[in-house]
Structure 1
């Protein structure tokens, strides 16, 4: 496979992984509609930074430690669940927020989106699991079904690429970069037309983060239960 083909495949992989609804996109959406494109992009950059950290840890073999440390993994999942519930509470408080009337305090706090998304991503068991399995596979010579790995089963088998190529990894992060740039922009464009979207997005963010928080806590309880 050529370098260009690997780059294109990596971009498609990154977009397929970043685009589906989830806690990271809930944070990006909330930050974008309440604080503007820059805040939304920073939130996306926080999630992408976590992927970069996991990439480095995968390269040096540290991430694999979690496979043999269920106690550490369970505690990490539990912390992630609590954090998501906390951020869900914060999103719920902003249900009455407006696109056009953002107060000075919110503007001053726009950088918090980066930290929020980064911490959530670092404690997100699904993101860790991805790098323990598919992510590590990206770095080793072989083949990967891009859409099947990204859980887009309808397109499974349509894009099978060689792994172990630096171009594939670069393209993967380029795809994530396209999403965290374009997604906030799309929300801002919508905000100029639909003022009522701000409280709707905040409410959906609260529900989504809360749901993931509860799910993470149940996951942590199942993992830690046999150990205590």
Structure 2
């Protein structure tokens, strides 16, 4: 998601980067609602559906990597509304088909919804046990989670725009890096989908 946000920010401006981030956050909200309703757990129990989602995500990442590389060659820096809307759609579709976000909501996400406590530092060392205990299942924790996501969605593009103003060559480098990251994960997702279907 950060690769899409970065590419949209430097190619189309801060608002487009924020909209791309909001696309990814919208997918998280869908997963949150799905976790509340038990839909996310049902997806995990259907390996063929999960493999299909992973494969679709892989194909989309490869397509978006190609699209980003094409934009890079054609001088992509614009501020049009179509580019901004494209960023939202790209980030949302990639996030909603991302198996890692599904797994997050199956594990940590569901744990955040269940009332209880989590000793965050205990797995690192017994000496750190009890130092940072989080109360789960509270509205305040969920507000903090989505507030943190929103802070990243607004702040990350702002940092990229500030850096781009200082270094004009930053935009093509960011777009090229985004294309490589998207392409790499696209191939990885397709291999993972094939493994799920075969295994």
Normalising by structure 2, we get a TM-score of 0.91
Structure 1 position 180 matched with structure 2 position 157: no
Which residue of 4, 8, 11 corresponds with 1:34? 11
Provide the residue aligned with 1:161 in structure 2. 134
Deviation at 1:221, TM superposition (A): 0.4
Which residue of 56, 66, 83 corresponds with 2:43? 66
Structure 1 position 132 matched with structure 2 position 109: no
Structure 2 counterparts to residues 36-185 of structure 1, below 5 A: 36-96=13-73, 102-103=77-78, 107-145=81-119, 159-185=132-158
| Counterparts of 1:27 and 1:134, CA distance in 2 | 24
Deviation at 1:67, TM superposition (A): 2.3
Contact 1:95-1:200 at 8 Å conserved across structures: no
Structure 2 counterparts to residues 179-198 of structure 1, below 5 A: 179-198=152-171
Provide the secondary structure at the position in 2 that maps to 1:143.
Answer: strand
| Counterparts of 1:30 and 1:109, CA distance in 2 | 11
Contact 1:81-1:215 at 8 Å conserved across structures: yes
| Counterparts of 1:160 and 1:206, CA distance in 2 | 39
Deviation at 1:160, TM superposition (A): 2.9
Provide the secondary structure at the position in 2 that maps to 1:162.
Answer: strand
Provide the secondary structure at the position in 1 that maps to 2:101.
Answer: helix
| Counterparts of 1:148 and 1:81, CA distance in 2 | 36
Deviation at 1:134, TM superposition (A): 0.7
User: What RMSD in Å do the two structures reach over aligned CA positions?
Assistant: 2.3
Structure 2 counterparts to residues 4-23 of structure 1, below 5 A: none
Provide the residue aligned with 1:201 in structure 2. 174
Gapped regions of structure 1 (runs ≥ 5): 1-23
Deviations 1:55-90 (A, max 9, x none): 001111111102220010001100000000000111
Contact 2:24-2:95 at 8 Å conserved across structures: yes
Gapped regions of structure 2 (runs ≥ 5): none
Q: 1:219 to 1:182 in 2, by over 3 A?
A: same
Q: 1:103 to 1:61 in 2, by over 3 A?
A: closer
